[in-house]
Chain A
Amino acid sequence: MKTNQRAAPVALRQPIHASMPDSHGHFGPFGGRYVGETLMPAIIELEKAYARISALPGFQEELRRLLKHYAGRPTPLFPAARLTEKIGGAAIYLKREDLAHTGAHKINNTLGQALLARWMGKRKVIAETGAGQHGVATATVAALFGMECRIFMGTEDVRRQSANVQRMELLGAEVVPVESGTGTLKDAMSEAMRYWVSAVRDTFYVIGSVAGPHPYPMMVRDFQRVIGDETKEQMLEAEGRLPDMLVACVGGGSNAMGLFYPFIDDPGVEMVGVEAAGYGIATGKHAATLGAGSVGVLHGSKSFVLQDEAGQIMEAHSISAGLDYPGVGPEHSLLKEMGRARYEAVDDAGALHAFHELCALEGIIPALESSHALARAMVEASGQPRTRLIVVNLSGRGDKDLGIVQQARA
């Protein structure tokens, strides 16, 4: 089913690269900085430091070296021949972020932010995590740089993702279980912001998605765009042309933003973000923020959120802890409003089905997050000519989800 997001209420006068966000961190009507005064000076300082330091050749060189020799970039772009054969439609390529160090795209961003923290002279980092992938990636770079590290994680996610809790602790991080609310990613992020208010003078907050107050959505996007940049180059090499469609899962939306961003000004490349429909959107137990949410302010920026009529944030649900977030990055809200990207939703059962298909057909165990993207890509590919090229961002590997998958089978 195609949605009707082709109309473009937000006119683009110049390439989106150059204009987004504006000087106040706004992506059209979204984004901005909605935080308490205690944090405002810190994020203004961060914005200035990021602008200054990221422009230095020495910083970029060090980051490139780390991405190559530590994170293992570039990750492959793999033609999934058996999956393509089974569907009998468009050719599906997998961008293998699951092969990056720590098993997910999260390492691109945490290397960037921790390196920035180091150049800013900060020795302590904190982060929030849902599935634990961002927590593991942050703990990893903290160990690499000899930084003190504290990770906030909802008690429900601590339970669902205990292997990742062990990994973080092995890497020397302190995992702080967050009991408030539903004990998931939203609550972990709220608690991390609260802690940051108290420790803001010497602590760098490594936000894991293209969410939060400006400059985070821009900064995380910039650190993740390596996914799209590589995809472009690799697809040109493999097929001599750009892909026809990009598909990526969207919780907060960092892996999708990283894949989409370098293609925004290539109008022939269709972009599909895939949200978690949980038990189904009609049941109310889902995480389809762009599909079923409305405009609000959460965790420092204006974007689509899941909320009730009184502006109270609602609980999100997904079988995948990494998509279980009632907000979304503001740039995705803009892409949706402009009609530049289309956002679909896949439910728990659909994600599980795609998970098993990829295991059986390609010998790859995908994260449940990525399985949502894969499930939608299979629908998009079906009935299309083989000459059509679809890239699915395989944002992470599924080792962390084996317990959940086993349970779902039982």
Chain B
Amino acid sequence: MNRIDEKFEQLRKRNEKALVGFVTAGDPDPGRSLEIIRTMCRSGVDILELGIPFSDPTADGPVIQRSSTRALKAGMNLSKAFEMIRELRGTCDVPIVAFSYYNPILAYGGAKFYRDALDSGADGVLIVDLPPEESDELTRQWPDRDLALIRLVAPTTPPDRMSAIAQSASGFIYLVSMTGVTGGGEPDLTELSFLTSELRSRCDGIPVCVGFGISLPEHARAVSPLADGVVVGTAFERIIEAHQNDSAVASKVGEAVGALKAAL
């Protein structure tokens, strides 16, 4: 059983919601990034979304854009991200989702990506600009489906499209809480409650995690009854940006993780 499925089963038994933590691999540099991630795992992240930096992240807001720029400058790429995952696996068994834009994976090669992702200990992949319509060209190079394919649903997604997306998703469904890029605004709970119930009625038991616009424990607390988990990313990247030259950067991210997890 995939670590992601196992994790949601454990959480369900404990009546807990998942904290999915996003961080850009290699930000501000590979060494400190690894330390930050280890601290996040120790502080309560249930699933780690590891961002593979891309030069043109069109779905992300300025904070994550800048984190990608820092990581790229520090030499991060997909093979180094796999090395990071391998190193992490020595000390933690938190499920890991590689979050990427499609072009770095296309350049790496689909079959090689699948093999190296699993070998390194990754559990899933979320490719933000690869909709179901285009993803066969990648997944047909995958011998099995051991790597979970996390799909996105947006507030603009019509109901019948939600059903189609849910059918081809595994691991969990990432519900984008607002019409916008990462890090903008706060979720509208009325709209979100409508969206989550619409989506849940169509997704056949696949867990739903809500992301975009969740940065504070009170957002997480407000959203958690609606979903199986929340995704937080920009909030962590803001801390990394503000404390990139500070030796306490990892512990500061860890504190934020602890506060968010406590609110769920």
Contact = CB atoms under 8 A, between A and B. Distances in A.
Q: Which of B54, B78, B151, B179 has the most CB of A within 10 A?
A: B179
Contact of B176 (A32, A37, A181, A297): A37
Interface stretch (B104-112, B200-208, B235-243): B104-112
A310 interface: yes
Nearest to B77: A310
A312 to B, nearest CB: 4
Interface stretch (B17-25, B91-99, B156-164): B156-164
Contacts of A41: 154, 156-158, 161
Residue of B104, B131, B176 ringed by the most chain A CB atoms within 10 A: B131
Contacts of A370: none
A307 B108 CA distance: 12
Nearest to A44: B161
Contacts of A296: 103, 106-107
A318 to B, nearest CB: 19
A81 interface: no
Interface string B108-133: 10000000000000000000111101
Contact of A312 (B104, B128, B151, B153): B104
A252 to B, nearest CB: 15
Nearest to A311: B107
Interface in B40-73: 54-62, 65, 72
A313 B103 contact: yes
A311 B103 contact: yes
A312 B77 CA distance: 9
Contact of B154 (A24, A36, A181, A190): A36
Given A309-B107, A311-B104, A311-B108, A197 B55 contact: no
A37 B157 contact: yes
B55 to A, nearest CB: 4
Interface in A185-243: 186, 190, 193-194, 197-198, 200-201
Interface string A242-270: 00000000000000000000000000000
Given A297-B129, A311-B106, A37 B153 contact: yes
Classify the secondary structure of B's interface with A.
Answer: loop
Interface residues of A, number: 35
Contacts of A313: 55-56, 103
Given A42-B156, A180-B65, A307-B103, A34 B54 contact: no
Contacts of A194: 58-61, 181
Contacts of B30: none
Contact of A298 (B59, B103, B155): B103
B258 interface: no
A311 B60 CA distance: 18
Contact of A310 (B107, B134, B158): B107
B59 to A, nearest CB: 4
A37 B212 CA distance: 13
A35 B181 CA distance: 12
A103 B233 CA distance: 46
A40 B129 contact: no
A198 B129 contact: no
A167 interface: no
B158 A190 contact: no
A345 to B, nearest CB: 23
A299 interface: yes
B142 interface: no
A297 B102 contact: yes
B72 A198 contact: no
Contacts of A166: none
Interface of B: 54-62, 65, 72, 77-78, 101-108, 128-131, 133-134, 151-158, 161, 165, 176, 179-181, 184
Interface of A: 24, 32-42, 180-181, 186, 190, 193-194, 197-198, 200-201, 295-300, 305, 307, 309-313
> Which 8 residue pairs spanning A and B have beta carbons closest together?
A311-B107, A311-B104, A38-B154, A198-B180, A37-B152, A310-B77, A36-B59, A312-B55
